[in-house]
């Protein structure tokens, strides 16, 4: 295992512990306030994104203001939805729905980028939604707003990835990453005002854990991307599911049933199928995306984006 892959595993571990910090708050703070605090602490990542020739004002610089605003809005929605999801759902269940993001990217890429998608990726989409049905078992158990929030988080993250594919050629990394921070700071900062409270000492500890562990995870992911190609640092993101199951048992006393394990396996298989197809595709093209940006305040490197006209087998 090379250093880049090891750093990726450490990064995703930090992200999983950040999500656990949200759950430890037990819904005692307004989710908009939690999301705002996470974005505020996320500013610590900007020096690692910033290149020597960049200014911090370049966070707002873009050649496509509409796409910048889309990334900002998607980050705001995705971040607060992830907070709601991890607050109200068992961690594996939240991850199952949020991990639909690569499948949403496939669907949105067809609808808005007019990409040609072949049977491999459509098979992954079908498998992914089948895995969700196995986990959620609609009609046999109650579903609530937490499930909708997790689903919305995955969809918002996918929208941000699609916007990123359009903008990344002309926009600077600090703008691509910073738009999400600005969106979450401004949007969630305004929406938190009616329910704003001064956190107590216990809440401050978990808020710091949420924001600083996510920032640490992002920094480690940046370092990983500098030492290994994206094709190697993307699959370790599924280690978060191992963390989710372990934390559910050990920390939250929420055991995982057999059906959920089967659904998790199906969804991970669907994600790895998408990753494998993208790796083959980019090997043919001789290109590979290496930037470690993520959307919605959630832990994932966006999939690489090929030209829309490239045909798939």
Numbers of helices and strands, H then E, in the chain: 13, 0
In the chain, where are the structural domains located? 3-285
Q: How far apart are CA 15 and CA 95, in angstroms?
A: 12
Alpha helices in 137-172 (DSSP H): 145-167
* Per-residue confidence in pLDDT tens, the chain, 313 aa: 678 889 999 999 999 999 999 999 999 999 999 999 999 999 999 998 899 999 999 999 998 899 999 999 999 999 999 999 999 999 999 998 998 888 888 888 888 878 787 888 788 888 888 998 898 887 677 888 999 999 999 999 999 988 887 776 678 889 989 999 999 999 999 999 999 999 999 999 999 999 999 999 999 988 888 888 777 787 888 899 999 999 999 999 998 889 889 999 998 888 788 777 666 554 444 433 333 333 334 334 433 333 333 333 3
Name, in order, each residue with C-beta under 8 angstroms of 253's C-beta and a sequence gap of 6 or more. Answer: none
DSSP 101-121: HHHHHHHHHHHHS-----HHH
Q: How far apart are CA 199 and CA 56, in angstroms?
A: 30
Q: What is the dihedral of CA 165, 275, 15, 166, to 10 degrees?
A: 0
Look up the pTM and report it. Answer: 0.85
């Amino acid at each position: 295992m090379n250093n880049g892959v090891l750093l990726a595993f450490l990064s995703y571990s930090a992200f999983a512990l950040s999500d656990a910090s949200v759950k430890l708050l037990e819904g005692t703070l307004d989710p908009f306030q939690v999301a705002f605090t996470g974005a505020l602490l996320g500013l610590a990542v900007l020096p690692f994104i910033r290149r020597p020739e960049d200014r911090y004002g370049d966070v707002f610089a873009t050649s496509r203001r509409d796409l910048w605003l889309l990334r900002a809005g998607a980050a705001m929605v995705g971040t607060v939805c992830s907070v709601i999801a991890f607050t109200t759902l068992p961690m594996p269940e939240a991850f199952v729905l949020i991990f639909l993001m690569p499948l949403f990217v496939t669907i949105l890429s067809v609808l808005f980028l007019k990409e040609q998608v072949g049977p491999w990726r459509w098979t992954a989409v079908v498998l992914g939604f089948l895995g969700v049905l196995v986990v959620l078992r609609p009609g046999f158990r109650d579903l609530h707003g937490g499930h909708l929030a997790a689903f919305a988080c995955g969809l918002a993250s996918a929208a941000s990835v699609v916007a990123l594919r359009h903008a990344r050629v002309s926009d600077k990394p600090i703008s691509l990453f910073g738009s999400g921070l600005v969106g979450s700071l401004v949007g969630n900062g305004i929406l938190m005002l009616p329910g704003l409270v001064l956190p107590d000492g216990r809440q401050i500890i978990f808020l710091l854990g949420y924001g600083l562990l996510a920032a640490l995870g992002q920094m480690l992911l940046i370092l990983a991307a500098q030492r290994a190609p994206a094709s190697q640092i993307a699959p370790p993101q599924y280690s978060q599911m191992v963390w989710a199951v372990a934390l559910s048992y050990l920390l939250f006393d929420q055991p995982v049933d057999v059906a959920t394990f089967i659904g998790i396996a199906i969804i991970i298989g669907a994600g790895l199928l998408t990753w494998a197809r993208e790796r083959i595709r980019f090997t043919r093209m001789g290109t590979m995306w290496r930037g470690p940006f993520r959307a919605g305040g959630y832990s994932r490197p966006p999939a690489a984006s090929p030209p829309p006209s490239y045909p798939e087998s």
